[in-house]
Amino acid sequence: MLDDLKHCKKAVGVKQSTKAVENGVASSVIIARDCEQRVVRGIIELCENKSVPITYVDSMKQLGKACGIDVDAAVACIFK
């Protein structure tokens, strides 16, 4: 899944990913295990309510790199 992130249509970050899930355009959400739980608690609940699958990766650094950005990322989502 991480290899696909660089080349697919996506949103990076908690706010952008939350908007995508709320609008029904996210097919899946990726969350870094090492981010603060208070930051991602809301999107986890939203994904559970909207039946959007969540995939976890080991680190924010790994997720940011997979998204093709130069900073760490706590959350990303892939569009339908």
* Domains defined along the chain, listed by start: 2-79 (3.30.1330.30)
Q: Is the pLDDT of residue 4 over 80?
A: no
The percentage of residues in the chain with a pLDDT greater than 70, rounded to a whole number, is 99
Give the model confidence (pLDDT) of 27-75 as tens digits.
999 999 999 999 999 999 999 999 999 999 999 999 999 999 999 999 9
Which of the four pLDDT bands, split at 50, 70 and 90, describes residue 5? Answer: confident
Whether 1 and 67 have beta carbons less than 8 Å apart is answered as no
One-letter amino acid for residue 55 of the chain? T
pTM recorded for the entire structure: 0.93
